[in-house]
């Protein structure tokens, strides 16, 4: 990540100006003294003494959105002691289970007041414990959440879009859709069986609303589109790629590890293909648990929401067998702490896309 500072220095003035309009970067060095008795441990755990004795810490702040992330790759090398004794319940992920409620959704899940929406590879159920007036589960036909084709993944989302329309028929003021997929327990899922959560609300969620307000302010101040500029910045830093107007970035201020953002003005086939490819890349590199969300403009035109794109964000929540949570007090109260090297991730992702 220290490369980032060198890279910014070398940018042509107009790019540097654009970068500084949105991001601020700070670098500090954390120093420590390692006693002889600990040297072997440090060498085996971190691969050397020097990088631990003087640690480069890079902080990136997105001035427009207020997001900030602190990077220190050393942290990713730490030994995680709290490993679960149970191990990976891999067998539980493969087979259809008699006792799995989602394997028997018609009998074992409630339905919405307007019924269920059935896709080719999924069916909706009403959420038992809601956080929104309209809150459903998209129950995938497949039990194993880590197995899905492009056709299946597209169907999960298309079914969600149909559900939004059905919910909107019941309450025409509910127009703000939201899609979340918490994959497995590290990502907060309480049920193993593959499922996503969808809501339709009368008001957008505050984080989405804040983003909308911030990009509107940005447009008014600079006469320029925030998402176009964000892509330009990531692109000239080698952190972005564009596939038929669908943009992919390895985001400079990620919430957690390996965060990737996909955005587009249109919700078309290409958007789903690109997002699926990102998910496939995740599975290829061994990600086992992730959060995926899709931000969308309202179902009907609303003043102030013009040009709000479709935005998918996805991040890795860590190994299933580790008991330690990847989110601590720092993330909750202060700043995101990340150990991913964004440049390595972007390089590998680009290679994967060029296959």
Chain residues in the site for Zn ion (CB under 5 A): 100, 102-103, 143, 193
- Taking the complex as a whole, the smallest distance from the CB of residue 109 to Zn ion amounts, in Å, to 11
Asked if 267 and 296 touch (Cβ cutoff 8 Å), the reply is yes
Of 143 and 186, nearer to Zn ion (C-beta) is 143
The smaller minimum CB distance to Zn ion, of residues 52 and 192, is found at 192
Q: Residue 92 CB, nearest distance to Zn ion (Å)?
A: 9
Q: Which residue has the tokens 């090398």?
A: 77
Nearer to Zn ion, 152 or 326 (CB): 152
CB atoms within 10 A of CB 354: 7
Both tokens assigned to 176: 């703000």
Residue closer to Zn ion by CB (options 76, 188) is: 188
Report in angstroms how near the CB of residue 122 gets to Zn ion at its nearest: 12
Closest CB to Zn ion among residues 88, 285 = 88
Pull the structure tokens for residue 232.
């330009």
Q: How far is the CB of 36 from Zn ion (least distance, A)?
A: 54
Rounded CA gap, 206 and 211, in Å? 9
Q: Provide, rounded to whole angstroms, the least separation between the CB of residue 143 and Zn ion.
A: 4
Q: Tokens for 309?
A: 């794109």
d(CA 345, CA 326): 19
Residue nearest to Zn ion (CB): 100
Cβ proximity to Zn ion: between 25 and 100 the closer is: 100
CA distance 270 to 275: 8
Measured from the CB of residue 195, what is the shortest distance to Zn ion in angstroms?
9
DSSP structural state of residue 103: G
Environment class of residue 42 by beta-carbon count within 10 Å: exposed (0-12), middle (13-18) or buried (19+)? middle
DSSP state, 131?
S
CA angle 144, 150, 151 (to 5 degrees): 90
């Amino acid at each position: 990540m220290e490369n980032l500072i060198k890279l910014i220095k070398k940018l042509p003035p107009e790019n540097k100006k654009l970068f500084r309009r949105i991001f601020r970067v700070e670098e500090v060095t954390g120093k420590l003294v390692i006693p002889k008795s600990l040297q072997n441990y440090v060498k085996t755990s971190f691969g050397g003494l020097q990088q631990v004795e003087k640690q480069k810490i890079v902080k990136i702040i997105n001035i427009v959105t207020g997001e900030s992330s602190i990077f220190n790759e050393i942290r990713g090398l730490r030994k995680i002691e709290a490993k679960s004794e149970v191990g990976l319940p891999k067998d539980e992920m493969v087979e259809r289970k008699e006792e799995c409620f989602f394997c028997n959704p018609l009998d074992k899940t409630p339905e919405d007041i307007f019924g269920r929406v059935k896709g080719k590879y999924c069916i909706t159920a009403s959420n038992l414990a809601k956080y929104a007036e309209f809150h459903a589960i998209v129950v995938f036909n497949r039990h194993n959440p880590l197995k899905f084709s492009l056709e299946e993944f597209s169907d999960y989302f298309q079914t969600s879009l149909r559900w939004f329309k059905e919910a909107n028929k019941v309450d025409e003021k509910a127009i703000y859709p939201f899609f979340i997929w918490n994959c497995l327990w590290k990502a907060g899922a309480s049920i193993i069986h593959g499922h996503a959560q969808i809501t339709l609300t009368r008001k957008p969620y505050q984080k989405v609303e804040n983003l909308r307000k911030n990009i509107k302010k940005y447009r008014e101040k600079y006469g320029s589109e925030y998402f176009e500029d964000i892509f330009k910045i990531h692109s000239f830093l080698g952190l972005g790629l564009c596939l038929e107007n669908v943009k992919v970035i390895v985001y400079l201020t990620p919430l957690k590890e390996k965060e990737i953002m996909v955005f587009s003005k249109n919700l078309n086939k290409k958007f789903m293909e690109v997002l699926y490819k990102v998910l496939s890349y995740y599975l290829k590199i061994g990600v086992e648990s992730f959060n995926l969300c899709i931000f969308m403009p309202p179902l009907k035109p609303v003043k102030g929401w013009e040009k709000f794109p479709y935005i998918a964000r996805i991040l890795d929540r860590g190994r299933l067998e580790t008991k330690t949570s990847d989110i601590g007090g720092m993330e909750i109260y202060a700043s995101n702490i990340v150990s991913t090297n964004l440049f390595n991730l972007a390089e590998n992702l680009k290679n994967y896309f060029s296959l």
